[in-house]
Amino acid sequence: MNISENLYVVKKNIALAAEKSGRKADDVRLIAVTKTVGCDDVAECIRCGHRDFGENRVQVLQEKLDGLKGLPEFNEINWHLIGHLQSNKVKYCANKVSLIHSVDKISLAQEISRFAQNKGIDVHCLLQLNVSGEESKSGLDPLEINKFIEEFAELKRIYIDGLMTMAPIDADDVFLHKIFAKTRELSVDIDRQKVHNMRMMHLSMGMSGDYECAIEEGATMVRVGTAIFH
């Protein structure tokens, strides 16, 4: 494993894909996904200058925080929770991450709002959509968006800053582009509604096998693990 070289290749690919969509590499934030690696590899990635990391599970996130807190760069790190979040785990992570990518139901949003109000903080999230329709994938059904928005607009101290989606692992490029383009279109539709606590600033879509397709369709965040840590 050569994390420095892998980072270079991924960032080069991001720049090329961004250019295809008429954007700059800086328009896309690379989230290095750490779910399969230990603190030593994360620390090496930090030493290479990277600062955005994503973790799937709350317990493992805490282990990473504990294991890395001695690093001089620790306070510069932006942590993203990208995996499924249960309502009873909100209190363990909502004030420790810069962004929760995986809000997929109104009950979870309500719990985050309660926690945020109790702590006197604002919590920023993405709405996870199941655009592909795969039963195995988490995410809100796009047909339920309007109902979600109606209830979400009543919540305090929680903000939806964009959308997140996951494409099928075995999808071909044509279907990948379709999924990511549909997610982008949904973000435009939501933005038009001018909901006070929902701002479509981010599209978190694309992983190690499909991040270039996602960028070509407008991704502003890509969640890449294997391509960096292998």
Q: Residue 137: which pLDDT band, with cuts at 50, 70 and 90?
A: confident
- Alpha helix locations (H) across the chain? 3-20, 39-47, 58-68, 106-119, 145-152, 173-192, 211-216
Task: Count other Cβ atoms within 10 Å, centred on residue 171.
Answer: 17
pLDDT one-digit tens code per residue, 158-180: 999 999 999 998 899 999 999 99
Calpha distance 4→24 (Å, rounded): 21
Global pTM value: 0.97
What pLDDT, on a 0 to 100 scale, did the predictor assign at position 59? 97
* Tokens (6 digits) for 51: 């600062």
CB 121 within 8 A of CB 133: no
Calpha distance 224→219 (Å, rounded): 13
What pLDDT, on a 0 to 100 scale, did the predictor assign at position 169? 87
pLDDT one-digit tens code per residue, 187-221: 999 999 999 999 999 999 999 999 999 999 999 99
Calpha distance 175→22 (Å, rounded): 22
